[in-house]
Structure 1
Amino acid sequence: MHISIGGENSFIGCGYHNPDKETLKNIRDAIDYDGKSLQDILENKPFKDFFGGLSNFTEPLKTSPKGYDRDHLFVAYLRYKNYTVSRNLTHKEFIDDSFLVVVGKAYELSTPFRDYLKKANSI
């Protein structure tokens, strides 16, 4: 988990931002093999309500990455360069007693996503 405190730019998130080539390939290989599991995680209603989905810190590739079928069922996920989820935090959330609740919820809801990425990089 990562918490960034910066006034209006505060957020909580996790995942791989600018992963190295090997890590990126491992994640894409996991999606190629079992993209349905990632889709299920990202489409889970509580997860989606909290994080919204994969973060777009950089523009995804315009087509499938080299070595992956452009008609792949999960090509939209394969095109990402970063695999992160995040949620903006308000100033009120930092000063309110609920801050630890928000952090706990982020940790709990992101566990399947983090586990998916961890498994992708341990194969």
Structure 2
Amino acid sequence: MSFKNQIEFLKELQKNNNKEWMDANRKWYKEVRDEYIGWLNSVNIRLSAIDDEYYDTPGKKGINRINNNLMFHPNKPVYKDHFGAGFDKKPQTADFYFELGIDRCIFAGGLWRPEPKVLRSVREAIDYDGEELQKILNKKSFKHLFGALYDDAKLSKSPKGFSNDHRYIELLRNKTFGVETTFSTKLTFEDNFDERLIEVYKEMLPFRRYLNKAITV
């Protein structure tokens, strides 16, 4: 699947980001959404075959709404400029995210500003075996693909219950434990795009499993 139909739809939507245009092009939207869900279903099957702990996530469950939440973000446009979806979306765990945009796409995963109880569990895991997480983050191929942890807000001091001279204080200060990599949308037009997605999924898997273990243990 090349996603050309989806990209063309997104381009036109951003020129006409309003409910009137969407209503007039509802048939086109349904077409590109159904195509996208069909692709998500095929990837869901492939990922479940390579990951014994994979949580079955059919396309209709994985796909995100295209509407922006104007209640919490009133200054945003009515519709998003991308199609987003999650894989391996077991509730309250670190899933794998894909975003198809007009100019760029994103692979991402982890925990974005989790609730205090979850965040505490991750920090306790780091306190117990932070060397394991550090090893994952320092792996050459991981760093090449994702760089470092997602650059988000951090505590200015150590979290409650942890000393300022803790060996892994820089990790403990994070409020978000996620990674992402971006690439040109042109990559989605290539025949081997699905294989590329699977490579990224595999590279990120130890990171996500570490987080999920921290949450569930």
In structure 2, what is the equivalent of residue 70 of structure 1?
Answer: 164
Given that residues 13 and 87 in structure 1 are in contact (C-alpha distance below 8 angstroms), is that contact kept between their aligned partners in structure 2? yes
1:115 and 2:194 correspond: no
TM-score (norm 1): 0.93
1:95 and 2:189 correspond: yes
Q: Where in structure 2 are there 5+ consecutive unaligned residues?
A: 1-95
Out of 86, 89, 92, the position equivalent to 2:180 is 86
1:14 and 2:105 correspond: no
Q: CA deviation at 1:89?
A: 2.1
How large is the RMSD of aligned CA atoms in angstroms?
A: 1.2
Name which one, 1 or 2, has greater alpha-carbon Rg. 2
The aligned amino acid for 2:166 is: H
Given that residues 100 and 185 in structure 2 are in contact (C-alpha distance below 8 angstroms), is that contact kept between their aligned partners in structure 1? no
Distance, in Å, in 2 between the alignment partners of 1:9 and 1:81 is 26
Local SS of the residue matching 1:11: strand
Given that residues 8 and 91 in structure 1 are in contact (C-alpha distance below 8 angstroms), is that contact kept between their aligned partners in structure 2? yes
Q: Where in structure 1 are there 5+ consecutive unaligned residues?
A: none
Identity of aligned residues (%): 35
Out of 104, 125, 133, the position equivalent to 1:38 is 133
Distance, in Å, in 2 between the alignment partners of 1:76 and 1:8 is 33
Q: CA deviation at 1:92?
A: 1.4
* 1:46-100 Cα shifts (integer Å, max 9, x gaps): 11111112111x2211121111111000000001101001101211112222321
1:59 and 2:153 correspond: yes
The aligned amino acid for 1:32 is: D
Distance, in Å, in 2 between the alignment partners of 1:9 and 1:59 is 24
